[in-house]
Chains A and B, each alone.
Chain A
């Protein structure tokens, strides 16, 4: 009896301490500033916020270039430079060369170089230029992906290859362009190829040896999607058995897209990884009746097993190529007087989603660009309310659908400052005319079935950089840009926000007001992700890759002929003048105060 009472006391004590530990962890905040930039999103919250504060709104006007580095590659440079210790790591677009630069020496000379030599044929399997969004530093390793579908780990000190794993198959139209994330010793990697009918997946590799731990598909049976008893979505529409098969026409799920080429974030307290799945294939919606689960939505999964915890489909039966791969930024904020653990997700479908990241509930969904393809999100059912008149048709041109297929915002990641509580969103303002047509599936060729011609959205300007206040669901300020803003954003503790433009400007603006404080002409369109780091000398540095390309910049990087308005899947109609505004070529630019 006494023993039992004692046991109960011990158990309850343990339970209580576990509970308090959970509560303490639930208030997870990103780690303190260490001066490094080891992963694309800065830390697991994907806020792209640097705690460095030497560069401020008062002195940023004195910012000047301190060194630059030519990557020798002419295609679109979307990667974030990675900084760990006194070394900077760069991954180029195809052929995916890796350079380690020694920041402790004048001019940051090359410390080592690695040539992965990916298959040249992979260049024909990449939808939107042969980009790479960068690598990740973890536990002495530098890990990155190659266009032809390999994940490679290098010794970060020497550049020696530790392991390489072939994950994607270019013969099925699969490539890899995303930046991997390492969570609890697992390297998380997803494929690209939604425009080729590739079947999407996220794979976890053992960081020590590159062996596959789990793979979660975005279509197919619950077993393949890793949906089990712990899957508890918030909305009824996400519940059912084998929806990844039954929400498709027979066999459609096998070539149905839902690739995972965007951003991952991770909440250590909830122990959940978040990522978006891409568009269903083909684009022509008439060839794939049904909701097309689990495409164009957000998954929350356990990093250990990959099992799904919740899912929310942003654009069911995606009519407009609004894939859901955009960043989910983890923030804790007041909602109706209560503190909520949320994710902020500016989706391609034009809505800014504020979601409870513990259960997948949509707290709010507010348009941040002009939207006429839908009238809103039903918060009771979670359904996106499409406008039927804007649905693409076979044999008929549907005009002025907003936003266009690249969405209100494409891959270019936003930044969030815990000081201003604002989200800094690089985005575009474009609409499109479309005509659907029957697409033939031929492996390793495009599977699209849509002719597209893009135009500037309302107001006539094609881009915008806005500061979004998620508590009021309004823009605090906005900068109208002539071209779509295709670069990532960075915000620092000095309350300075950085971004670049397609015509080659790199800009610093006041995080509170949006006043442009400084700008620098880089020589080529900026579509990279700016970062901040503390150099070995203790100074704060800002780094960004310039080098036009990507889907938006392909008219320049691919030397496309803009007399065909449908070139670059419709971007040629929108950005024909870009060819007279910038030229191609990849360069790293690093800036500091005098």
Chain B
């Protein structure tokens, strides 16, 4: 019985260790995701319709989305860089909601990276040259976690502050929907 219990605890511990795939001992350079924008990266695509026969859209993966530490860091930057001042805890305020399924400027990591770095014309300031790129990728991972787009075992749980929305690790994934930018001041991100 005691052996069984010990085995259970051991297997739980092992499982707990497996909850994310950490890549340790890699250089800072290698841990950075490929640059999503600019002449060498994959240009973000903001519509699902492509002229002519279909060509697979290059996707940038953000390794930070697989690491709880980076998502949690993103959550911290989200407050420290005043993202929460405009987007609240995901429901939106001066800026649009981030926890819903509506996206003007694309839901892929490279799209969100571009929105943060470039800014957007209807009010989103540019944070390029203000926030280090590595931190932007952490923010990107956190922003996607707000609508359940990162794995629940990596997403953050409820924090030690005033209860706001459902914690990210209990947020059901909301498949992204494209939203028009036709009217200035319209919602979406």
**Contacts from A to B (Cβ < 8 Å):** 74-75, 94-95, 120-127, 130, 195, 395, 397, 433-435, 437, 439-440, 442, 444-448, 451, 453, 554, 558-569, 572
Contact = CB atoms under 8 A, between A and B. Distances in A.
Given A435-B162, A446-B82, 6 more contacts: A120-B121, A120-B122, A433-B162, A451-B164, A559-B102, A566-B88
A559 B93 contact: no
Contacts of A95: 184
A569 B88 contact: yes
A563 B85 contact: no
Interface in B15-67: none
A1 B82 CA distance: 78
A125 B79 CA distance: 18
A567 B92 contact: yes
Contacts of B175: none
Contacts, number: 130
Contact of B82 (A435, A442, A453, A559): A442
10 contacts: A440-B82, A447-B82, A448-B85, A560-B91, A561-B97, A564-B92, A565-B165, A566-B88, A566-B165, A568-B93
Contact of B91 (A125, A126, A130, A563): A563
B187 A559 contact: yes
Given A437-B79, A445-B81, A445-B82, A572 B121 contact: no
A132 to B, nearest CB: 13
B74 interface: no
A446 B161 contact: no
Contacts of A435: 161-162
A120 B121 CA distance: 6
Contact of A561 (B82, B92, B122, B162): B92
The size bracket of the interface on B is: 35 or more
Nearest to B99: A561
Contacts of B86: 124, 445-446
Nearest to A125: B123
Contacts of B81: 440, 442, 445
A563 B165 contact: yes
A75 B185 contact: yes
B90 A447 contact: no
A179 B74 CA distance: 40
Contact of A563 (B96, B121, B161, B166): B166
Given A442-B82, A445-B82, A453-B162, A558 B92 contact: yes
A124 B123 CA distance: 4
Contacts of B122: 120-121, 123-124
B123 A120 contact: yes
A565 B166 CA distance: 10
Given A560-B93, A561-B90, A94 B184 contact: yes
B43 to A, nearest CB: 23
A434 B165 CA distance: 15
B187 to A, nearest CB: 4
Interface string B79-120: 111100110111111111101101000000000000000010
Nearest to A126: B94
A559 B97 contact: yes
A564 B161 contact: no
Nearest to B101: A561
